[in-house]
Structure 1
Amino acid sequence: MQNDLQYGGQHILLTSSAWDAAESALKGLPGLKIAEDNLADVLKNIDGCIDIELEHRNSSKKSKYNSELIMIALEGALRNLTRGETTTYSSLEEFYLSEHERIQKYAVEPAPSVPLHNGEEPNTYTDLDAVSHLPRLGTPSYTLIRDALQFGLQCTLYPNSALIVTHESGKALSFKASMSPLTSAVARAATNHKEATRVLLQRAKVPVPLGRVFSIEDRSVALDFADSIGYPVVCKPVAGFKGIGVVSNIRNREELEKALDLHAISKLRDDDLIIERHVTGDDYRIVVIDRQVVAGVLRSTANVVGDGLHTVADLVFYKNRALRANPQRRMSPIKISHPGLHYQLGLAGYTLASVPAMGEKVLLASSANLSLGGDSIEILDELHPSIQELAIKAVDAVPGLDYCGVDMLIEDHRLPAADQSCTIIELNSAAAMGSAQYPMWGNKVQISQLLMEASAHASGLQVEKTQNSDIAITFTVRGRVTGVGYRRWIQSQAKSLSILGHVKNLDKRTVTAFAQGRSDDVAALVRLAILGPEGAVPTSVAAEPAETSELTSFEVRK
């Protein structure tokens, strides 16, 4: 006898024994709780197609899994039944590695606690829903669009994320992500090359780590250099970004060999690399705008904290929930498949199925880059004035650099720089605004607003907020935007953002619209408008403030 089930959008047939076993397991959802030592038995009943050997986490505290993990296992079992295949996992570690990419939700009971910093839960953000509609790299231009409209300025967005903001005087300011009029092209070129940055900082008598650049062909020379300056050392690409290929605290030649292997398979494997002495201290991003420190962010390496009950994988999945609730971090969770994660776990003698002791901090990356899932804590109120002065001195070493993220290693940000190890490791002329704008913990700094204000003042313009949190705008979209369902698509996006207004075709290559709502939502709609539905090719979106209107919906007009 066979039963019909819709799976993955298709109807499939299952044997009665498989159907009955799955049905009995799922009857208790969503409150289903089943002990580890029984879960394997339940799965074996599904015609023996899957066998998970679950390890006890703690002999005195048996963790109980509920609906989501069981659903993942059952889905895999049912899928394999339809193919006549058998999947056997020899360990929980193998199960994690095999199935993690399919896991959209993950739940265990009892759940790990929310990650804390000094007893505080992570910050919450009112624009999380608006940001969640945006593409992966859409947040910087979104925040700048929002600020421009709130300042009463016009703005025009292009497909490559270039943004032109125009003052009523006719003067225009150009932005692209965090690139602004405050930074010259020469300054960007200098800071994009780590060795050039090192030379400029040394000339300014700013402390930098001892190190050298090596060609990727000079592997043996790099190894000998590390031996000569002494371990620990850091290995990183000469023009790297987002922590790609960076390995810190390398303790011996064998570990450096492994780090060089990681560099060889990274996206920047063809770049020269730097070997430099590892400097003690925590990783900080100090943001300087127009010779003023406006933010200081302590960046902690991606990690989880053990509770003596949950596996590393459990803790990672729940840590990622907190990261995804942050507008900046939502697209940069801790990746179970990342080679650096397994490298770090291996150094500690752990796997994904290991259970760290209560309070044990387990590192999951070799650098404190936030794109790898690290933590961010804004600490400007505590940052010692001498450290702020050192950051400004470092930025002054590069002419034409009036916006910069200064990366520093500091033992204690509350103490004078002269009383401790305090070293500049990098200057970022287009530093991402999100780490200070959306910190996991600490004060939220409106970096995009400060950047736009400083850019305007540098051009002799005076700007101030003229709009409230609710705004109204008109915007015009040009390009291939008629006859491709663009108006209906805009209406759908507007409704999902709770925006009121209307949209209509102006001519064969132009659509015009009116929108009003929360500034977060309206800015998100403008950012989305440059994308359009499949078949559309918008070439520009021009928006400007407007007067509010009495509306109850978002309409498509002819």
Structure 2
Amino acid sequence: MKIESLRRLRGPNVYLSRPAVVARVDLGELAGEETTDVTGFTERLLRAVPGLAEHHCAAGVPGGFVSRLRNGTYFGHVSEHVCIELSQLIGRDISFGRTVAADRPGVYDVIIECPVDESPESSVPGELLEAAIGLVLEVHSGSGPSARTLAERLSGLAELAEREATGPSTRSIIAAARLRGIPVERFDDLSLVRLGWGHRRRLAWAAMTDRTSAVGVDIAGDKHVTRRLLDEAGIPVAPGGVAATAGDAVRLLGELGAPVVVKPRHGRQGHLVALHLDTADAVERAWAAIGGEVVVERHLAGRDYRVLVVSGEVVAAAERVAAHVVGDGRATIAELVGRVNADPRRGAGHSRVLTRIVLDEAVEEVLRRTGHTPESVPEEGRVVRLRDAANLSTGGTSRDVTDQVHPDVTRLCRRVAALVGLDIAGIDLRLPDIAAPVPPTGEQATAGVIEVNAVPGLRMHLAPVHGRARDVGDAIVRAMFPGGSDGRIPAVAITGTNGKTTVTRLTAHLLSGSGMRVGMTSTDGVSIDGRIIQVADATGPRSAQMVLGDPQVEVAVLETARGGLLRRGLGYDWSDVGVITNITADHLGQDGLDSIEDLAHVKAVVAERVRDGGTLVLNADDPWVRSLAGRPRVRADRKRLIWFGLDAGNPVLGEHLARGGAAYVLHDGWLVQATGARRTPLMRLAEVPGAYGGAALHVAADTLAAIAAARALGARPENLADRLAEFDPSVENPGRGTLFRVGDVSVFVDYAHNPAALAATLRTLHRLWGAERCVAAVTLPGDRREDLLAASAQVLADGLTRVVLYEDEDRQGRPAGEVVALIEREMRARRPQLTAVRADGYRSAVAAALRLAGPGEVVLVIYEKWEPMRAHLAELGAVPGGGAPVLSGVTSLSSRAAGAVPHVTRELTGLPARG
């Protein structure tokens, strides 16, 4: 049994609304074998991992999984549950898993939930599943791992998860943002997070924001400059100076008087800080340990306090207590430290709310001063101090004193943060009592500010050892997003089988006319404010994140395709508007999709992730789209449902409007907004750009969907017609029904690649030219299932008598000529008298089709890639055809647009509607 591949679903997906990993697992020699085939397997597994007894599985109650084990289940399913339990045992809280058969016998997809803020690049899920598979194999072959072996494995996995996890400060900010509905995206495995979208997005890196002053950070990072700046402003600080040599440091000891503090000028987290120094030798040793510029200050008596200031307000205060142990009269200091470090709240570095105590030279020096060693046994109740500095990073603890802070201290700390120029500042004070006024400054200062910290740690406030925890992460988020803002911008997601790119481009065009800067993803790339910034198939989550993370964007329009959704999940958590254009047969046989019902299940994710109170725009003419409104996870009752369609008499529309609902329909040659009994004409169908006087009815459907989406986001109806009229399909929607002229022949270029799209395109050409005047140069993608290629070929045969066939440059792994041969065979079976020509590549195909076409006729060109085809047509001297085809002795455009020629209508009656 082994893992073949592992992919991360970074957002909501077809399995659940949270991130997950999908591992393809080959059961190998265990294929077809069940747990009941292995004597004693279940008992051995439960001895090794007792927590499995509580797993519900499909039964929905504890013990459900044990029942499955005893009744027989496959080992991929067993590995899934073991992985979940191991995750729980290392403190990684997940509960969802599913195992489904893949496309080959003995191969399964194991889907396991991931923590929502785990890095998308994390290695933990893969390591956990490897460990789970290893454990299952051991149990299968023998007794399984010993308790000690399993504990060692879990310890290693826990350390890995801890290294990759965010620290407490970042976690608190993320949690506070999510609680307020603010979108959060973590950058790799760093503590850098993006909060919000578009022009409302903010950045945070631990307790530092994108508004934190770089000057303020530099000032706080230089302890000498900080002390001088505050001193000159009348802030009480410890007298002191900077020393570049040991001699300078000893001189300052003499001037200031003992005891003194020696610390690095640019140090952090209490590293190498030496306190209570009262001899020249001690000062020299401290200087030598640092090995550079140091700050020497008079040691102020009193207690150590940290006050957190956020946007000019004191939000928390804590008394810090240096690392220490309390004797019991029996244990050594080293043993007492071991007991303290056993506290699960303690960890290495800053990953947990407390840090483990390390018995290093600094601790031994403190112990020597008090006559102790690590092997000393302190008497019962005796407090033994292990560090001079009270930093949490060296094992210290904290006590919350927020409610005790004297107003004088509050005013002082607010001034200090403002003087240094920090939006978030941790101010360290040495005071007799934080509840009392601050003693005045002067040469004999006995209290005051000892440091100012940029990017202060929040652990001491989030989880003090004593006193009330303070939600300082929320205070930071409230400062970043004042007034209750959720940091979101309007977002519309568009999916479907056909027309989604056109609807996306039209929606973006309409919204940009409202004065908003639009970020758009589509099949052809990413654009920001009308400018292409990336040329690619940009319909997946990475492209969506590119738009949502851009600080220029005020509204996002996201084409969302099946492939990206299945392979990586959605690139957002919720949208304001979801549009489903239609659902027809395409891409079946790929990514585990075997039927249109499977395809509808995938497209439904876009509908499910429309927020409560948002708008769902659905095609009333499409039965599969109609069915989505009734899905429990769609929860249409919590959304505003808007239908669009070409059939004004559709009973779904009638019932919806009778209830006072809204719809966008084609009625008496007009695009109409309907609300209840009210009808508002928006634009004549004959004037819709790209509809060719009304011949391209599928363009009318796309336009209605785009209008519905734009209106849902605030586009004004009185501006729609003018804005639509400004849409130039040849520029803003190239390659989708784009008309050219080459001499006296029209060339109609489209991206139709499935039966429904091809049928809609042929209907358009038949209405304009008649079936007898159409020639086609066609390619179909090799990654389509053979029955879909056959269905497309049959549609072509119903609509054409002359066709040139050529292959995509990327044959998707098929042998040369296979797709062309299949299409030709199916077309001839449907229409024996067909004239079919094979060509080598798109250049030869276009040339051959032009030779077959006569004056006034049209050549339909179905292409693989737009840019090479556009360049080739330019080489041929093709000029834009606009909205008027080249006609020669045939019925006028207006009469053909009004209705198809009778024999064409009969010929295409059985073709699927595009919707």
Same fold (TM over 0.5): yes
Q: 1:340 to 1:421 in 2, by over 3 A?
A: same
Matched, 1:177 2:200: no
Q: 2:285 aligns with which of 232, 235, 258?
A: 258
Out of 188, 201, 206, the residue aligned to residue 230 of structure 2 is 201
Cα offset, 1:132, TM superposition: 7.1
Taking the TM superposition and a 5 Å limit, the aligned residue runs for 1:142-541 are 142-159=171-188, 160-167=190-197, 170-215=199-244, 218-263=245-290, 269=291, 271-322=292-343, 324=345, 329=352, 332-336=355-359, 338-399=360-421, 401-418=422-439, 421-457=446-482, 462-463=484-485, 478=542, 506-507=563-564, 511-512=568-569
Q: Secondary structure at the match of 1:349?
A: coil
Alpha carbons 1:323, 1:333 under 8 Å: kept:
no
Give, as a single letter, the amino acid of the residue that structure 2 aligns with 1:239: H
In structure 2, relative to structure 1, the CA distance for the partners of 1:366 and 1:510 (3 Å cut) is farther
Deviations 1:21-53 (A, max 9, x none): xxxxxxxxxxxxxxxxxxxxxxxxxxxxxxxxx
* Residue pair 2:354, 2:459 contacting (<8 A) in 1 also: no
Contact between 1:152 and 1:545, CA under 8 Å: does it hold in 2?
no
For residue 505 of structure 1, report the CA deviation from its aligned partner. Answer: 9.7
Q: How far apart, CA to CA, are the structure 1 residues paired with 2:609 and 2:388?
A: 46
Contact 1:150 1:465 in 2 (8 A): no
CA contact (8 A) 1:201 1:397 kept: yes
Q: Alpha-carbon deviation of 1:398? A: 2.1
Distance 1:190 1:372 in 2: 24
Post-superposition CA distance 1:310-353 (Å, at most 9, x none) = 210121111122363589645621012x2211111111121111
Cα pair 1:477 1:512 within 8 Å, conserved: yes
CA contact (8 A) 1:209 1:423 kept: yes
Post-superposition shift, 1:147? Answer: 2.1
CA deviation profile, 1:343-368 (whole Å, cap 9, x unmatched): 11111121111011222221111211
SS at match of 1:141: helix
1:42-97, Cα deviation, whole Å (9 max, x unpaired) = xxxxxxxxxxxxxxxxxxxxxxxxxxxxxxxxxxxxxxxxxxxxxxxxxxxxxxxx
Higher relative contact order (CA closer than 8 Å, sequence separation 6+)? 1
The 3 A distance-change label for structure 1 pair 371 and 392 is same
- 1:322 aligned counterpart, secondary structure: coil
State whether residues 181 and 455 of structure 1, in contact with CA within 8 Å, keep that contact through their aligned partners in structure 2. Answer: no
Per the TM alignment, residue 214 of structure 1 is displaced from its structure 2 partner at its CA by: 1.6
For 1:245 and 1:550, the matched residues in 2 are separated by 61
Q: Note closer, same or farther for the CA distance 1:321–1:280 as it changes in structure 2 (3 Å cut).
A: same
Tell me the distance in 2 between the aligned counterparts of 1:505 and 1:379.
Answer: 54
User: What is the SS of the residue equivalent to 2:484?
Assistant: coil
Matches within 5 A, 1:537-548: none
Residue 316 to residue 550, structure 1, CA distance change in 2 (3 Å): farther
Taking a change above 3 Å as real, the CA distance of residues 387 and 136 of structure 1, as seen in their structure-2 partners, is: same
Identity percentage over the alignment?
A: 27
Partner Cα distance (2:230, 2:572) in 1: 48
Measure the CA separation in 2 of the matches of 1:403 and 1:444: 18
AA partner of residue 568 (structure 2): V
Secondary structure of the 1:140 match is helix
Which digits, 9 at most, give the CA deviation of each residue in 1:120-174, with x for residues without a partner? xxxxxxxxx999756365333332222222211222221243212115x741111
Q: 1:236 Cα deviation (Å)?
A: 0.3
Task: Give the conservation status (yes or no) of the 8 Å contact 1:234–1:250.
Answer: yes
Q: Is the 8 A contact 2:481 2:487 kept in 1?
A: no
* CA displacement, residues 160-219 of structure 1 (integer Å, 9 cap, x when unaligned): 43212115x74111111111144211111111111111121012100111111122xx11
TM-superposed deviation, 1:421: 3.6
Name the residue aligned to 1:537.
Answer: none
Distance 1:379 1:331, change over 3 A: closer
When residues 274 and 136 of structure 1 are mapped into structure 2, their CA distance, relative to the original with a 3 A threshold, is farther
1:456-482 alpha-carbon deviations (Å, 9 max, x no partner): 12xxx533799xxxxxxxxx8759xxx
C-alpha distance after superposition, 1:481-534 (max 9, x if no partner): xxxxxxxxxxxxxxxxxxxxxxx9944996226999xxxxxxxxxxxxxxxxxx
Distance in 2, Cα, partners of 1:384 & 1:299: 17
Structure 2 CA distance for partners of 1:546 and 1:358, relative to 1, 3 Å: farther
Aligned partners of 2:172 and 2:472 also within 8 Å: no
Moved more, 225-234 or 419-428: 419-428
Q: Distance in 2 between matches of 1:136 and 1:219?
A: 41
Partner of 1:92: none
| Structure 1 residue 230, shift from structure 2 partner | 1.1
Report the CA distance shift for 1:330/1:413 in structure 2 as closer, same or farther (over 3 A).
Answer: closer
Contact 2:166 2:191 in 1 (8 A): no
CA distance in 1, matches of 2:466, 2:562: 45
User: How far apart are the structure 2 equivalents of 1:310 and 1:454?
Assistant: 48
Whether the 8 Å CA contact 1:478–1:510 is kept in 2: the answer is no
In structure 1, what is the equivalent of residue 126 of structure 2? none
Give the 4+ runs in structure 1 shifted more than 4 A. Answer: 129-134, 325-331, 476-479, 504-510, 513-516, 544-551
**1:130 and 1:446 mapped to 2: Cα distance?**
26
Supply the AA of the counterpart residue of 2:367: L
TM-score w.r.t. length of structure 2: 0.35
Q: Please report the TM-score for the alignment, with normalisation by the length of structure 1.
A: 0.57
Query: Relative to 1, partners in 2 of residues 1:350 and 1:302: Cα closer, same or farther, differing over 3 Å?
Result: same
1:429 and 1:325, CA in 2 relative to 1: closer, same or farther beyond 3 A? closer
Q: CA RMSD in A?
A: 3.6
Q: One-letter code of the match for 1:512?
A: G
Contact 1:410 1:422 in 2 (8 A): yes
2:569 is paired with a residue whose SS is strand
Q: Distance in 1 between matches of 2:486 and 2:564?
A: 35
Task: Pick the structure with more helix per residue.
Answer: 2
Structure 2: how far apart are the matches of 1:247 and 1:136? 32
How far off its partner does 1:301 sit?
0.9
Secondary structure of the corresponding residue to residue 441 of structure 1:
coil
Give 1:378 deviation, angstroms: 0.8
Kindly tell me: are residues 220 and 422 of structure 1, through their superposed partners in 2, closer, same or farther at Cα, counting changes over 3 Å? closer
Cα pair 1:302 1:364 within 8 Å, conserved: yes
Distance change (3 Å), C-alpha of 1:259 and 1:136: farther
Q: Which amino acid aligns with 1:395?
A: A
CA distance change for structure 1 residues 506 and 250 in 2, over 3 Å: closer, same or farther? farther
Whichever residue aligns with residue 427 of structure 1, its letter is V
Q: CA deviation at 1:427?
A: 0.9
CA contact (8 A) 2:362 2:387 kept: yes
The SS at the match of 1:142 is: helix
CA contact (8 A) 1:301 1:368 kept: yes
Q: CA deviation at 1:221?
A: 2.1
Quick one: which amino acid aligns to residue 283 of structure 2?
L
**Aligned counterparts of 1:323 and 1:220: Cα–Cα separation in 2:** 45
Q: How does 1:93-112 map to 2 (within 5 A)?
A: none
- How many angstroms does 1:442 deviate by? 1.0
User: Structure 1 pair 318/194, CA: closer, same or farther in 2 (3 Å)?
Assistant: same
**C-alpha distance in 2 between matches for 1:328 and 1:423:** 31
Distance change (3 Å), C-alpha of 1:135 and 1:439: farther
